């Protein structure tokens, strides 16, 4: 991760509110692929935007998230312009997911970076009164509160309904565009519970026994599946008070390298068999999928979006 200079708080807040990127993750289940050098396999929810876990589905989700972040910026800019206020489109998106999304969208590196005056540079030119007006119009917060990073209470005055720094034009953009990740947030607990039920089911009793037996040949700690083994190692390390050195990690990695592949294949088969019932009982998944059916066509026809991403690729590629 690149270490960057301190960013003014209003920029940090804007990133958190508007980005909605694929850095937003919930799942631990299939991360063992990276540890064992394996490609993460297809998952029964890969066909539902925002739930992708395989490489291809994750790239698609990055692309949708990037496009939505751009659309929120366009909507924010339009809202500010209606009030005769300056706002430049600035999509804050991690570099690697952006490159991943651009590749999926077949967008190449541009020949120059975005040439608009940055929002920070513009705000630096404003006097106190204009800066406050700009902050109120953009975030629904005073400039002082944005600088402070929290809303100051005014006696006798009701607090705004919106969360901090998510009102006014930023709020309008969020409401208008929405987010790929909204349904994933709503269903994260249900997905976790369902997959834990599958993982602990009788159908995987033999697979758990085989993983435990295999892991015990290289690992001194117990575990019937990778997450359970990871928990055993984390607990052991928490009780081993040596800073900067984990004497147990090599045992965990050896067990994952040797044993995770067979477990993952068995678990994947069980998920594939069980998931249709989950999908049928959560009808919002079908509606969510339909919402994004024409995404690729719309994004490919959005010349301004593609030009912007190309210019950002120039910027992040140096």
- Give the CA angle between residues 55, 16, 120 to the nearest 5°: 120
pLDDT in tens, 213-263: 999 998 888 889 899 998 888 887 776 655 455 566 788 889 999 999 999
- pLDDT computed for residue 27 by the predictor: 35
293 SS3 class: coil
- pLDDT computed for residue 162 by the predictor: 80
Residue range 78-100: average pLDDT? 96
- pLDDT computed for residue 154 by the predictor: 66
Query: How far, in Å, CA of 221 to CA of 236, rounded?
Result: 9
Given a cut of 90, whether residue 115 has pLDDT beyond it is no
- pLDDT computed for residue 30 by the predictor: 36
In angstroms and rounded to an integer, the radius of gyration of the C-alpha atoms of the chain is 23
Query: How far, in Å, CA of 87 to CA of 116, rounded?
Result: 9
The contacts of residue 298 (CB under 8 Å, 6+ apart) are: none
- Tell me the angle at which helices 303-317 and 55-82 cross, rounded to the nearest 10 degrees: 110
Q: Tell which wins on pLDDT, 172 or 246.
A: 172
pLDDT in tens, 29-78: 333 343 444 566 789 999 999 999 999 999 999 999 999 999 999 999 99
| Weakest-pLDDT range from 151-155, 164-168, 300-304 | 151-155
Given a cut of 60, whether residue 100 has pLDDT beyond it is yes
| Weakest-pLDDT range from 159-168, 209-218, 260-269 | 159-168
Of 124, 141, 134, nearest in space to 85 by CA? 134
Residue range 277-293: average pLDDT? 97
- pLDDT computed for residue 34 by the predictor: 39
Of 313, 307, 300, nearest in space to 105 by CA? 300
pLDDT in tens, 122-140: 999 999 999 999 999 999 9
Q: Band the pLDDT of 155: cuts 50, 70, 90.
A: low
Q: pTM to 2 decimals?
A: 0.80
Given a cut of 70, whether residue 6 has pLDDT beyond it is no
Given a cut of 50, whether residue 84 has pLDDT beyond it is yes
Task: Give percent above pLDDT 90 in the chain.
Answer: 67
């Amino acid at each position: 991760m690149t270490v960057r200079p301190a960013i003014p708080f209003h920029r940090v807040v804007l990133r958190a509110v508007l980005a909605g990127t694929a850095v937003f993750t919930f799942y631990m289940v299939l991360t063992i692929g990276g540890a064992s050098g394996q490609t993460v396999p297809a998952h029964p929810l890969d066909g539902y935007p925002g739930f992708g876990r395989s490489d291809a589905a994750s790239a698609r989700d990055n692309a949708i998230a990037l496009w939505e972040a751009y659309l929120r910026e366009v909507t924010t800019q339009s809202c500010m312009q209606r009030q005769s206020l300056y706002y430049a489109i600035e999509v804050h998106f991690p570099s690697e997911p952006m490159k991943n999304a651009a590749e999926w969208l077949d967008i190449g590196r541009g020949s120059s970076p975005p040439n608009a005056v940055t929002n920070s540079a513009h705000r630096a030119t404003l006097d106190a009164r204009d800066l406050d007006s700009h902050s109120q119009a953009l975030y629904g917060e005073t400039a002082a509160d944005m600088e402070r990073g929290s809303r100051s209470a005014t006696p006798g005055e009701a607090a705004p309904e919106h969360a901090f720094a998510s009102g006014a034009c930023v709020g309008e953009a969020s409401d208008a565009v929405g987010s790929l990740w909204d349904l994933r947030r709503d269903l994260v607990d249900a997905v976790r519970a369902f997959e834990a039920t599958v993982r602990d089911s009788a159908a995987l009793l033999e697979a758990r026994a085989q993983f435990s037996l295999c892991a015990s040949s290289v690992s001194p700690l117990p575990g019937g599946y990778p997450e359970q083994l990871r928990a055993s190692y984390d607990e052991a390390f928490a009780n081993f008070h040596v800073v900067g050195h984990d004497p147990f990690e090599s045992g965990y990695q050896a067990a994952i390298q040797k044993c995770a592949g067979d477990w993952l294949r068995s678990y994947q088969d069980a998920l594939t068999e069980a998931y249709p019932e989950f999908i049928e009982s959560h009808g919002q998944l079908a509606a969510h999928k339909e919402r994004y059916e024409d995404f690729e066509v719309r994004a490919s026809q959005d010349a301004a979006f593609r030009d912007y991403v190309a210019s950002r690729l120039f910027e992040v590629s140096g």
